[in-house]
Amino acid sequence: MFIVRLFLFKSLVALILVNGTVVGLEWTEYHNLDEIYEWLSDMEAKFSPLVTVYTIGYSYENRPIKAIKVSSRPGNQAIFIESNIHAIEWISSAASTCFLNNLLHSNDKNLEDLLLRYDWFLVPVMNPDGFAYSHEINRWWRKNRKPTGFSNETGPCYGTDLNRNFNYEWKKSDFPLNDPCDHWYHGSAPNTEPEILALQNFINQFEDSYIRLYLAIHAYGNFVLLPYGHTIEIFPPNYDQMMRIAQGFADAAVIKYNTTFKCGASGLLNHSGYVSGDAKDWIYGVKNVPFAATIELRDNGGYGFLLPADQIAEVCTELTDGMVGLIKAAEMERLLTPNI
């Protein structure tokens, strides 16, 4: 059955190329939310029924939060990716969509295997309000856009850092995140923000053990960050195993451009100090997904959040190669079982 479906995929791609009707993202510039969403719709139209686009919920300003699923065969385990939960990190959605595009279109045997043997989910823009605001008003915006109810000398303060608002060990960070006007505000309580509730509701509908890997794509610093963020006194039960899998990413991602990814608990490595209430700790700690990581893409701070668009293609290659290495390592560890 899957050979037929693969043939269908490739036939469709060939048809699209012959007709010259490839539209959408090009990964030579940073695209806005509408362009990314149009690309999702294009992929669904071209690859249906293997590709499905979902609206998993709505942001505070009522923008849809969209997810794309690729499933070639029943019985696959799932790999879940999200990006741009931090609005400022444009490279995260550029690279994650480019990676998915590689999965759908590449003739590389490794990627064809990944496409067939696993279900793939991607939420390319977890924070659509912040992302739009970053494109239209303030390139440096990080949080969502819900008013906090507080003001300072500049006026009302907007936004919660969504990746500090999840209800797992919330507010355990040693780093102060409780100023409602601050860049990293963790919210007035855990799980207050509509964007992360939409993600949680979407994930909660799946059977336990369906999602085996969760990757939160961020920038910058070149890290593969593992649970936990809130403490370095305690490490996850399968921390050593997760480290070997993370190293699979790093070993593959370094090859083409010599970009070195450091792997370890985010409490140990994250440059902003301890982090609590983030997505990876929630998915690991609450949903028991056995591998969860935050991948911090380029760079090491030269350009920082303003990474030039002419680096998107190389970062996409690093992410793609890294994912192939990571999944091979997860299969070696028997954390993933390919549906062959």
**Which of the residues are catalytic?**
296
Q: Round to whole Å and give the CA distance between 180 and 160.
A: 8
Number of H helices, E strands in the chain: 10, 10
- For the bound state, the minimum distance from the C-beta of residue 216 to Zn ion, rounded and expressed in Å, comes to 8
> Which is nearer to Zn ion, 72 or 127 (by Cβ)?
127
> Which is nearer to Zn ion, 90 or 118 (by Cβ)?
90
Say if CB 284 and CB 239 are below 8 A apart: no
CA angle 25/130/203 to nearest 5° reads 80
* Dihedral sign (CA 324, 326, 330, 333): positive
DSSP state of 140: T
> Which is nearer to Zn ion, 163 or 320 (by Cβ)?
163
**Residue 241 burial class via C-beta count within 10 angstroms: exposed 0-12, middle 13-18, buried 19 and up:** middle
> Which is nearer to Zn ion, 218 or 328 (by Cβ)?
218
Q: State the Rg of the chain over Cα.
A: 19
- For the bound state, the minimum distance from the C-beta of residue 135 to Zn ion, rounded and expressed in Å, comes to 17
State the CB neighbour count (10 A cutoff) for residue 135: 17
Nearest to 127 by CA among 183, 75, 199: 199
- For the bound state, the minimum distance from the C-beta of residue 59 to Zn ion, rounded and expressed in Å, comes to 17
Phi and psi angles of residue 264, each rounded to the nearest 5 degrees, phi first: 165, 170
- For the bound state, the minimum distance from the C-beta of residue 12 to Zn ion, rounded and expressed in Å, comes to 35
- For the bound state, the minimum distance from the C-beta of residue 296 to Zn ion, rounded and expressed in Å, comes to 7
> Which is nearer to Zn ion, 46 or 86 (by Cβ)?
86
Six token digits for residue 165: 């608002």
- Residues of this chain that bind Zn ion (CB under 5 A): 86, 218
